[in-house]
Amino acid sequence: MTEAKEPAGKTYILTVENRRKTKGRYRDTITLLTTSSIRKELTIPVYGNIKPRQIAAIKPSGTVMLRGYAGEAIKTSVRIVPKKEQMFDIVETKADKGENLRFTLTTSKQADGKVYLLTVENKKKTPGRFRDTIRLFTTNKTQKEITIPIWGEIKAPEIASIKPRRLTLRGSAREQVKGSVKIIPNDKYPFSIMEVKPRDGRNIKYDLKEMEESGKKIYVLTVENLKKEKGRYYDTINLKTDNKHLPEIRISVSAGIGD
């Protein structure tokens, strides 16, 4: 602590320096005793957050994302460039789990040193999410390990274009109220609809027709209201397919029937 003089009177400057040698967080309190009769003690809380020294420039930084559809190639790369004052070699790489990904580490040279390229590829064949961490072990004395967090989000492939996904029926109970849904199989994932089954079915009549449009097989699902009085209802129509990626397509039906 140092004392300085200003036009308004004395000023005290308290300088606080970190002594922690490892990464981590901490809290402390500095107590100042005074000659004041009003307040004999001042407390100053201190918060420390010491981060590891960055020995490399990593792009992209943070969590590596693997997002895409099951059955398709999903991969990304991370560039690791050691800083001049922290030069090191990567001597080993491993994943904490590894069952959902494969990775390779390659090295190239640039004018002022090495550049590492970590390529990460998804191996998961089914829809779902996963987390993993790839660890790069270095020869640097300050930071012997670089961790690369991995987040995977694998979706079911889009086997069909469905318009609309939610069918809304609105009209009068005295009139015919119906709507239709068009289902167009994706060329990469051809399928047939084997069965049509509503969850309830008491208020609707449905019909599925296989048709051809622009040389492609499509399906048209027509749903008609059967409710004869005012009210609302909800239902779901399940379409069973012979495609392993999406064995069932669900069409939500909502109705608002007036007088």
Q: What is the pLDDT of residues 11-61, one digit of tens each?
A: 889 999 999 877 789 999 999 999 988 999 999 999 999 877 779 999 999
* Residues 110 and 94 placed together within one structural domain of the fold: yes
pLDDT digits (tens, 9 = 90+) for 111-169: 778 899 999 999 999 889 999 999 999 999 888 999 999 999 999 888 899 999 899 99
* Residues 44 and 69 placed together within one structural domain of the fold: no
- CATH number of the domain where residue 101 is located: 2.60.40.10
* Residues 135 and 171 placed together within one structural domain of the fold: no
Domain boundary among 155, 172, 203: 155
* Residues 69 and 43 placed together within one structural domain of the fold: no
Domain boundary among 134, 155, 176: 155
* Residues 39 and 81 placed together within one structural domain of the fold: no
Q: Supply the range of the domain harboring residue 241.
A: 160-258
pLDDT for position 64: 96
DSSP of the chain:
-EEEEETTEEEEE--------SSEEEEEEEEEE---SS--EEEEEEEEEEPPP--EEEES-SPEEEEEETTS--EEEEEEEE-GGG---EEEEEESS-TTEEEEEEEEEETTEEEEEEEEEE---SSEEEEEEEEEEES-SS--EEEEEEEEEEEPP--EEEE-SEEEEEEETTS--EEEEEEEE-TTS---EEEEEESS-TTEEEEEEEEEETTEEEEEEEEEE---SSEEEEEEEEEEES-SS-SEEEEEEEEEEE-
Percent of the chain with pLDDT over 90: 73
Preceding omega of 164 cis (within 30 degrees of 0): yes
Say if CB 159 and CB 245 are below 8 A apart: yes
Domain boundary among 124, 155, 186: 155
* Residues 177 and 190 placed together within one structural domain of the fold: yes
pLDDT digits (tens, 9 = 90+) for 180-212: 999 999 988 899 999 999 999 999 999 999 999
* Residues 148 and 166 placed together within one structural domain of the fold: no
* Residues 67 and 101 placed together within one structural domain of the fold: yes
Lowest mean pLDDT among 13-17, 18-22, 106-110, 172-176: 18-22
* Residues 45 and 61 placed together within one structural domain of the fold: no
* Residues 167 and 205 placed together within one structural domain of the fold: yes
* Residues 45 and 70 placed together within one structural domain of the fold: no
* Residues 138 and 181 placed together within one structural domain of the fold: no
Q: How many domains does the structure of the chain reveal?
A: 3
